[in-house]
Structures are given as structure tokens and as C-alpha cells.
């Protein structure tokens, strides 16, 4: 009788230890997932800052470079398309939605680059204080976007590593923790630009 009580106590102790360990694994994955969501919020903040600067930048360019209409229309359209795609933290589990978001933001960045390149043709625009301030703010925002995307990738890597590591992978599968995608370079970024004189 005492041996069976001893076995039952041992099993209960082992069960309690495994339960505590399992709760720790689960809580660690939740903390990592929330860190990814927080990093994502920062990425969204800097993209929103860029979206907010664009109308002022376009209006300033419009006032000076009236016949470059195609360029600022392209920026407005790219901004509208990028603004239509809202990616919630839950949607980060969908690589296709993430890629669509990333592509719309890349298209907006490309349109903004064309707009800024047009400004080189207009000395009066380059001398416009409002334009120079907006251009400086936009450049700072683009730098912030790069920093926040890098931070997001680092946090996502930590989370992805955690949920793929044994034994956490067992709990990740049981509780629906899914891999988060990474930001990648824009298509063609691996090729050096061609310089012609």
C-alpha cells in the first residue's frame, strides 16, 4: 500500500512539474508573440508618418512643378493603394497578406523617389523652404522605416526561433503559434544601379 501511495505521489509531483514547465513555455511564447506585435506597431507608426507627409509634399510640388502632373498623380494613387491595406497583428500569420502589404509600401516608396527626382529639374522647388523641410522629414521617416523594419525582423526571428525549438515546438503546434514573416529587400535591390556618364 505504501509503495502505491509513493508511486501516486511521485506521479503527481512529476505532473505538477510538467504543468509548471508547460505554463512557462506557453507564457514565454506569448511574451515573444507580443514583442512581435509591438515591433509591428512601430513599423505601422512610421509608415503612417510617411503617409501623413505625402499630401503636403505633393501639394508643394504641385504648386511649383505644375506640368509634372503624372508624377504626383502616381504618388497619390500609390498612397491610396498602400492606405487600403491594413495589416493587423493577426494577419501577420498570413505570408500572402504580409507580402501584399510590403509590395504596396515598396510601390509608394518608388513613386516618392520619382517625385523627389523630378524636383531636381526645378531650381525654384529646391529653393522652396517648405519643400526642403518636407523632403528632410520624408528622408528621416524613410530612415525610421528602415530601422523599425530591422527591429521587427530581429524580434520576429527571436519569436520564430522560439516556436521552432524543441520542446516549445510541441506547445506552439498545440496552441496555434505560427511563424511570422520577415521584411525582405525590394525586388532588384541586389543589383547595383547602372551609372552612365
Which residues are CB-contacts of 44 (< 8 A; sequence separation ≥ 6)? Answer: 87
Give the residue numbers spanning the domain of 45.
Answer: 2-175
Q: Domain for residue 153, yes or no?
A: yes
Report DSSP state, residue 93: G
What is the pLDDT at residue 145?
Answer: 92
CA distance 61 to 197: 28
Q: Domain for residue 132, yes or no?
A: yes
What is the pLDDT at residue 132?
Answer: 83
Cell of 195: 551609372
Q: Domain for residue 149, yes or no?
A: yes
3-state secondary structure of 12: helix
pLDDT tens string, the chain, 197 residues long: the values are 678 888 899 899 999 998 898 888 899 999 999 999 999 989 989 999 988 888 888 887 777 666 567 777 788 888 888 888 877 777 788 888 888 888 888 888 888 888 888 777 777 777 778 888 888 888 899 999 999 999 999 999 999 999 999 888 988 888 889 999 888 876 554 454 443 43
Q: Long-range CB contacts (< 8 A, 24+ apart) of 165-174?
A: 167/25, 168/25, 168/28, 168/29, 171/22, 171/25, 171/26, 171/29, 172/29
Cell 501639394 found at? 59
Q: Domain for residue 114, yes or no?
A: yes
Q: Domain for residue 195, yes or no?
A: no
Q: Long-range CB contacts (< 8 A, 24+ apart) of 65-74?
A: 65/118, 65/119, 65/121, 65/122, 65/125, 68/118, 71/111, 71/114, 71/115, 71/118, 72/115, 74/111, 74/114, 74/115
Q: Domain for residue 163, yes or no?
A: yes
What is the pLDDT at residue 157?
Answer: 94
Say what the pTM is. Answer: 0.77
Q: Domain for residue 19, yes or no?
A: yes
Give me the number of domains the chain comprises: 1
Q: Domain for residue 187, yes or no?
A: no
What is 95-136 written as a DSSP string? Answer: HHHHHHHHHHHHHHHHHHHHHHHHHTT-HHHHT-HHHHHHHH
What is the pLDDT at residue 128?
Answer: 78
CATH number, domain at 71? 1.20.1440.20
CA distance 47 to 87: 12
Amino acid at each position: 500500500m505504501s509503495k502505491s501511495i509513493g508511486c501516486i505521489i511521485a506521479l503527481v509531483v512529476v505532473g505538477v512539474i510538467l504543468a509548471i514547465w508547460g505554463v512557462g513555455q506557453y507564457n514565454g511564447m506569448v511574451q515573444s508573440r507580443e514583442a512581435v506585435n509591438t515591433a509591428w506597431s512601430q513599423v505601422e507608426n512610421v509608415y503612417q508618418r510617411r503617409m501623413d507627409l505625402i499630401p503636403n509634399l505633393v501639394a508643394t510640388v504641385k504648386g511649383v512643378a505644375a506640368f509634372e502632373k503624372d508624377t504626383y498623380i502616381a504618388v497619390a494613387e500609390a498612397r491610396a493603394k498602400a492606405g487600403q491595406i491594413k495589416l493587423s497583428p493577426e494577419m501577420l500569420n498570413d505570408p500572402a497578406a504580409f507580402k501584399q502589404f510590403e509590395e504596396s509600401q515598396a510601390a509608394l516608396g518608388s513613386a516618392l523617389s520619382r517625385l523627389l527626382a523630378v524636383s531636381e529639374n526645378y531650381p525654384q522647388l529646391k529653393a522652396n523652404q517648405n519643400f526642403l523641410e518636407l523632403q528632410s522629414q520624408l528622408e528621416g521617416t524613410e530612415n525610421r522605416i528602415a530601422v523599425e523594419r530591422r527591429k521587427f525582423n530581429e524580434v520576429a526571428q527571436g519569436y520564430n526561433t522560439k516556436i521552432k525549438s524543441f520542446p516549445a515546438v510541441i506547445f506552439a503546434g498545440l496552441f496555434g503559434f505560427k511563424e511570422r514573416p520577415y521584411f525582405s529587400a525590394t525586388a532588384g535591390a541586389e543589383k547595383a544601379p547602372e551609372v552612365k556618364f
